[in-house]
Amino acid sequence: MAVQQNKKSKSKKGMRRAHHNVAIPAVIICSCGNPTVPHCVCPSCGNYKGRNYVEQA
Amino acid sequence: MRHKKAGRKFNRTPSHRKALLKNLAIALVKNGRITTTLAKAKTLRGVVEPLITLALRNDVHARRQAYATLGDRTLVARLFDEIGPLFTSTGGYTRVVKLAQPRKGDAAPLAIIEFVKQPAAKSEAGAEAKEEA
C-alpha cells in the first residue's frame, strides 16, 4: 500500500478543507412577513399556498 | 447496488414495514390528516390512494379488500361512506406538504399528509389530532 512520505503541513490541510463548508439554507419571506423555507409550511403563520395547516397558539 | 429498484425500505424488515404502513394508513383514515416524516408520507400515498379507489368501487369485495389493510369495520365504513363519496375522479386524493421545522432529536424532515377533501363532520377533530410515527 502506498504511504505518504511527508506529513501534510497545516497550510495544505487548511487548503484541502477550504471547500468543507456548510450549505447556506434557502430563505424566502412568507406573506406574513417572516422568513421561512421555500416549498414548506411557514412555521410563523402555518400557511402554505393559501391554506392553513398548523394552528398558531 | 440499488439501481432501478424503487421504493423505500425504512431500515425495517418486510413485515415491520408492512405493519408501519398499515398503522399509518389507519391513522390517516381515522384522523384525515397526520404529521409524519416526509419519506413516510410519500410512501403512504401509495397505500392510501388505492384504498380510496376501492371506496369508489364500493362493492362487498372492495370492502373486504380494504378491511385487509384497515382491519376495523368502523374504519372501513368511514372510508366507504364518508371519505369515498367526496371523490369522483381517480387519483390525487391526498396532499403532502412539507414542514419547515425538522424533527427535534434526529432532524428528520417532517410533512403533513391529508385527504384533499376533508370529511365535514370530523374535519375539526382531524385538524388537531396528529400522529407522530
Please tell me if residue B129 touches chain A, with a CB cutoff of 8 Å.
no
Give how many domains chain B has, as a whole number: 1
H/E element holding B36?
A: strand B33-37
Find out whether B115 and B33 touch, Cβ atoms under 8 Å.
Answer: yes
Q: Which three cell numbers stand for residue B46?
A: 401509495
Task: Report yes or no: A44 and A53 within 8 Å, Cβ to Cβ.
Answer: no
Partners of B115 in the β-ladder: B94
**pLDDT digit string, tens, across residues B10-69:** 999 999 999 999 999 999 999 989 999 999 999 999 999 999 999 998 899 999 999 999
Q: Is residue B51 included in any domain, yes or no?
A: yes
Look at residue B121 and tell me whether its pLDDT is greater than 70: no
Segment-wise mean pLDDT, segments of 10 residues, chain A, 57 residues: 93 96 91 90 86 72
pLDDT tens digits, residue range B67-105? 999 999 999 999 999 988 898 888 889 999 999 989 999
Query: Could you give the number of structural domains in chain A?
Result: 1
Scan for cell 402554505, then name that residue.
A48
- Rounded to two decimals, the ipTM of the complex is 0.73
Amino acid B95 reads R
User: Please, is B91 exposed, middle or buried when counting C-beta atoms within 10 Å of its C-beta (0-12, 13-18, 19+)?
Assistant: exposed
Residue A48 lies in a domain: yes
Domain that holds residue B26: 14-132
CA B24 to chain centre: 6
Q: Do B100 and A54 touch (CB under 8 A)?
A: no
Residue B104 lies in a domain: yes
Has residue B3 been placed in a domain?
no
Chain B's closest residue to A52, CA to CA, is: B127
Question: Can you give the CATH number for the domain in which B34 is found?
Answer: 3.90.1030.10
